[in-house]
Chains A and B, each alone.
Chain A
Amino acid sequence: MRDDDHDHPVGDGADPNGEPIIEARNITKSFGGAVAVDGVGLAVGAGEIHGLVGENGAGKSTLMRVLAGIVTPDHGVVSIDGVDLDAGNTRAALDAGIALVHQELSLVPEMTVAENILLGSTPTTSGFIKVSEQRRIAAEALNEIGVSVDLDEPIVRLSVALRQFVEIARAVARKPRVLILDEPTATLTPAETDYLLDMLQRLADRGLAIIYISHRIPEIFRICHRVTVLRDGKLVDNIAIADTTPDAVVDQMVGRELKIEEGQRREALPGSVVLSAEGIEAHRVNGIDLQVRAGEIVGLGGLVGAGRTELVRSIIGADIRSAGDVTITTDKGEARVRTYRSAVNNGLAYVPEERRTDGLALTMSVSDNVALPNRSELSRAGILSRSKIARRAQELAEVVGLRPPQVQREAGEYSGGNQQKIVLAKWLGRKPAVIVLDEPTRGVDVGAKAEIHRLIKELADNGTAVLVVSSDLPELLELSDLIHVVRDGRIAGTLDGSVADEKSVMSLASGEATVSGNGDPDDLVGSAQ
């Protein structure tokens, strides 16, 4: 391992314009021998928005958790206004004005919005909660970010996007001097993302130092003043946005020249209908018909909260549906499926949205996770074959670009984006007849994203029927042969993937256009057949 005082190739990250508010020097952190962050420095001044980018597992979240006092570094110090903070002391970091919005949602599900916003800093008089004060501060914070939500609503009853905003309100309520956001836009729609980015610029104008992590390079170039690039835990560059380009940043992230062929669509040759859903009604789903053919990719677009997740979950039987029939037709014949289990038995694969709760056993190894849906194939006379599993998992880990590709490690030890890759690997191994993917590349870095897109297209080319939910418009447009736009639990319109563009999808999603409405008629091909 390296010693304390080595030089970085690119200085220590000090901000040339005035004194930094927060400064981290020479931070090193390893987990059981694997170095996650290796001698990294970072400095951010008042009013600066500082981008932090890197591939999945590059060490971004770990570095931020060190700044917030959640992780104790092996070496290095964090200082605010030149005063060193007690390492690994969450309280001290909070009191010094560092607020972190986590990559994974970290709210208490059964507590109310107001309580969550003031969690850990509840105002009290002699131990009693000052309820009116608590509500006032919470309301102020929500007001400051311009979001309205019932203060007494428990978090469990909120949508994913609203939870994200509550989480940001919590950070803002602490009147921080340094605001750190770890991939806040991963769960947001383009409109919500716009809103958030504008909000961050307003906050920075008022003198906050902001550190902003995202895999979406355009966002970085839109709001950041400087950007720090990490690769394998090491600092690669710290540069003013004006002095670099998106391509250069991506190349630095991956350490080689990456050619991402953007928006390359494939020639689809759809076969017969494999998945057919008729008259589906369920919670937040109001009567939907759709079909997916062999070799076809059908995309579900729409705003977060439009009911797409509910729709796919009720189609595959993971949620109860009150009406409707679903059939899966394969070479083995036609099967009506009611339950998730029967759907899986008939060749369905499902990659859920909430990977941490629905998709992964976090304390099991990667290879055991990958083996879960492939048990019969990987066992000999009913007994799982260790060597087969390991070999298979290793193959799949390489296919999805798991970093590091050590399949014996616990899934929970992997970074957020890598966990997503494990969930994908789990299902790709099955060569399913139908695959349903809900936000397949959320939180996945640019390189891996292109790779996952390639895999999805390859599946379709090999005859799998693919149903994709995505809030990422370019992704939806690149993948889909047919796009159903969902609004309020209904299909608001259907677009041919080869002619649809961001505008036509968004206007359907937001209700500005209807099928017979004011959109460009060439973009619209009538509603679902």
Chain B
Amino acid sequence: MTAALELGSGESGDNLLARVRTVLGRRTEGRAVALLAVVAVVTAFLEPVVFTSYPVTLGRIALIGLVALGLTAVILMGELDLSVASTLAVSGVVMASIESLPLGIVAALLVGLMIGAANAFFVVAVGINSFIATLGMLFFLRGSAFVLSNEEPVRLANRDAGIAFGKPFLGPLTPRMLLFIGAFIALQVFVTRVRVGREFYAVGGNREAAYDAGIPVTRRIVTGFMISGFVAAMAGVINTLERTAADPTAGSTVLLASFAAAIVGGVLLTGGRGSIFGTLLGATSLGILQVALTLSGVQVDVQNIVIGLVLLLAVITDPNSVRGVVGSVRSLLQGRSRA
């Protein structure tokens, strides 16, 4: 009788300090907090303008963040969606090509949902690896955006609405920021409190167990891709409104940054681990970083190098890979010293 009762987990303690340690030990956002601190402090010294002209910075964070949030839903299930940035561009072009603004917005969002559904179809029904399926979608959509727009920016018919959209609405917050915050809260609640969203973790963490427990895995994957498509289209709508025009090249720097945001935020590429809050922290750090680099006159290509490095750094500092890295470095060094 007693033996089974003694199976303590060994890690959790009774006093407050131990409890705090236990709770912190369960969080996955550590690296995002660290990156945010470093980026914020360095920027505050070198390029304080990033913070004084905060509307620009917040706008950038919102753009990266929105796309990253949708992406997080997909990565949590152990899948990938590389088509998000092109979805942003296509939906913007569709929206601007339609005379009526409300109709245009609805059409753009529908396009996003359809793209998500198409991605999901290739992944679950046809059985193509999501990396390949959405890579194909990336080029298909980018091409479509150029064809639909005749390779030049499409002006929005109703420019005034666009200008109004960029104005602060509530305190310093523009509607774009508010929408982003809304999407963040909605997704945060979705993956922590709503059953369907919570089951994304099961689909990514142990897909076989999810099947066996009777979770409709296919339906969850479809939902995830549609969320990703929808949110990317929303980012496209917002972007188009603010610029009062849809650019078929829009979002070209967003894909890398939004991926980096999710990974820095603690989302595990193979799924099952991560949080929406972590992605928000990641997006904030990368947004600040991008704006700081832009303001200091760093070229886009060089920016991509920096963000690519951040992404790589995030992947290698993942606790799951640290062990492997330490091990191989050690054996490398040892091999040297022996030779």
Contacts from A to B (Cβ < 8 Å): 68, 70, 90-91, 94, 100, 102, 106-111, 115, 119-122, 124, 127-129, 131, 145-150, 152-154, 157-159, 161-162, 165, 189, 191-192, 194-196, 198, 284, 303, 305, 320, 338-342, 510
Contact = CB atoms under 8 A, between A and B. Distances in A.
A106 B211 CA distance: 10
A237 to B, nearest CB: 29
Contacts of A342: 331, 334
B201 interface: yes
Contacts of B3: 189, 191-192, 194-195, 303, 510
A94 B193 CA distance: 24
A94 B211 CA distance: 12
Shortest Cβ-Cβ A-B pairs, 10 listed: A120-B213, A191-B3, A195-B4, A106-B209, A108-B205, A120-B214, A339-B331, A119-B213, A110-B273, A91-B214
Given A108-B205, A119-B215, A147 B331 contact: no
Given A119-B215, A154-B26, A149 B330 contact: no
Find the residue from B2, B194, B212 having the highest chain A CB count within 10 A: B212
Interface of B: 1-5, 7-12, 22, 25-26, 193-196, 198-199, 201-202, 205-206, 208-215, 272-273, 323, 326-327, 330-331, 334
Contacts of B11: 153, 157
Contact of B4 (A119, A158, A196): A196
Contacts of A303: 3
A243 B25 CA distance: 55
B334 A153 contact: no
A192 to B, nearest CB: 5
Contact of A70 (B212, B273, B326): B212
A150 B9 contact: yes
A110 B201 contact: yes
A102 B9 contact: no
B7 A157 contact: no
A90 B9 contact: no
B206 A120 contact: no
A159 B206 contact: no
A275 to B, nearest CB: 19
B267 to A, nearest CB: 11
A120 B12 CA distance: 27
B9 A147 contact: no
Contacts of A146: 1, 4-5
Given A119-B213, A119-B215, A341-B331, A107 B10 contact: no
B10 to A, nearest CB: 7
Contact of B272 (A109, A131, A150, A320): A109
A153 B7 CA distance: 13
Contact of A191 (B4, B26, B214): B4
21 contacts: A70-B211, A70-B212, A90-B211, A108-B202, A108-B209, A119-B210, A120-B213, A120-B215, A124-B195, A127-B196, A128-B193, A146-B4, A146-B5, A147-B5, A147-B7, A157-B11, A158-B9, A159-B10, A161-B7, A195-B3, A510-B3
Contacts of A341: 331
B205 A68 contact: no
Given A108-B206, A108-B209, A284-B10, 5 more contacts: A109-B272, A111-B205, A150-B12, A159-B10, A198-B1
A169 B209 CA distance: 15
Contacts of B208: 106
B155 to A, nearest CB: 41
B7 A149 contact: yes
A269 B148 CA distance: 83
B7 A162 contact: yes
Given A110-B205, A128-B194, A148 B334 contact: no
Contacts of B5: 146-148
Given A108-B272, A189-B3, A342-B331, A90 B205 contact: no
A111 B196 contact: no
A189 B326 CA distance: 34
Find the residue from A119, A145, A192 having the highest chain B CB count within 10 A: A119
Contact of A159 (B9, B195, B199): B9
Contacts of A122: 195, 198-199
A127 B195 contact: yes
Nearest to B28: A110
Nearest to B338: A342
A339 B26 CA distance: 29
A152 B27 CA distance: 12
Nearest to A337: B334
B197 to A, nearest CB: 9
Nearest to A122: B195
A110 B213 CA distance: 16
Contacts of A154: 26
Contacts of A124: 195
Nearest to A124: B195
B4 A192 contact: yes
Contacts of B211: 70, 90
Nearest to B273: A110
B9 A320 contact: no
A121 B214 contact: yes
A320 to B, nearest CB: 7
B181 to A, nearest CB: 20
A146 to B, nearest CB: 6
A115 B26 CA distance: 15
A157 B9 contact: yes
A111 B201 contact: yes
A213 to B, nearest CB: 16
B209 A107 contact: yes
Find the residue from B208, B214, B215 having the highest chain A CB count within 10 A: B214
A161 B4 CA distance: 9
Contact of A338 (B193, B206, B330): B330
Nearest to B7: A162
A102 to B, nearest CB: 7
Contacts of A161: 7
Contacts of A107: 206, 209
Contacts of A119: 202, 209-210, 213, 215
A120 B199 CA distance: 8
A109 B272 CA distance: 8
B4 A111 contact: no
Contacts of A198: 1
A52 to B, nearest CB: 19
A68 B212 CA distance: 9
A320 B324 CA distance: 11
A339 B334 contact: yes
A191 B199 CA distance: 35
A121 B194 CA distance: 13
A196 B5 CA distance: 11
B115 to A, nearest CB: 25
A147 B212 contact: no
Contacts of B7: 147, 149, 159, 161-162, 165, 192, 305
Nearest to B201: A111
Contacts of A320: 323, 326-327
Contacts of B198: 115, 122, 129
Contacts of B323: 320
A305 to B, nearest CB: 7
A153 B23 CA distance: 9
A129 B327 contact: no
Contacts of B199: 122
A304 B21 CA distance: 25
Contacts of B209: 106-108, 119
A174 to B, nearest CB: 10
